[in-house]
Amino acid sequence: SDTVQAQVTFTHLFGPMFGASQVTGLLEVGGININDMPDEDVLRLNGPGTGRNGGIAGKEGLELVVQDGVETNPFPTEFAWGYRAVAKLEYNNVFAGINMSPRIVFSHDVEGITPDPLFLFIEDRKSISFGIDFDYQSRWAASFGYNAFFGGVGTTNQMEDRDFISFSVKYSI
């Protein structure tokens, strides 16, 4: 089937606010439609966590134990959409020539599930990222971040237990 993808991005420079020399905001909304997607009664396309393929007769009880009960994850849908929002503040010369830029990124897959291998949108999946960057004379830079993943339907959000922190330091010659 043919697919139609669309997205629109809005960027706004708010100028000086909250003591920052610049505040930048970004909002991106996107969606995908799979034209003439077959009904799941005709062809069941794979989605995250929909391991409902055929199996060996007699092992149904084992599957229920291993999977914590009957699986209820939905199959992919014809249409799916979501949005991403970013806010970044820039503080110049905070201390002895060091610039600081805190940021926050929020992602929300609002409705629908795209089939494998796309996995662009997984209904109700969310993530949030907090970070802060430091820069000294455009030579030294350090970055700290925390990323959290949550939401989703059933066990479709396979990133849900993969929160992480990050740290990096770099030097430019």
The rounded distance, in Å, linking the Cα atoms of 138 and 142 is 11
Mean per-residue pLDDT, 95-114 = 95
8-12, 106-110, 160-164: least confidently modelled range = 160-164
Token code pair at residue 159: 């990133």
Mean pLDDT, residues 108-127 taken together: 89
Residues 6+ apart with CB under 8 A from 156: 47, 48, 49, 50, 73, 74, 113, 122, 123, 125
User: Which pLDDT belongs to residue 2?
Assistant: 87
Interval 94-119 mean pLDDT: 92
**Which contiguous run of DSSP H or E holds residue 60?**
helix 60-66
- Chain mean pLDDT for the chain: 87
pLDDT of 159 > 90? The answer is no
> Which has the closest alpha carbon to 115: 33, 44, 47, 24?
47
- pLDDT value, residue 27: 99
CB 123 within 8 A of CB 74: yes
User: What region, left, alpha or beta, does residue 49 occupy, with left being phi > 0 and alpha being psi -120 to 50 degrees?
Assistant: left
pTM reported for the whole predicted model: 0.82
Question: With contact defined as beta carbons under 8 Å apart, do 86 and 26 qualify?
Answer: yes
* pLDDT at site 57: 53
Residue range of the domain that includes 85: 3-171
Count: domains in the chain: 1
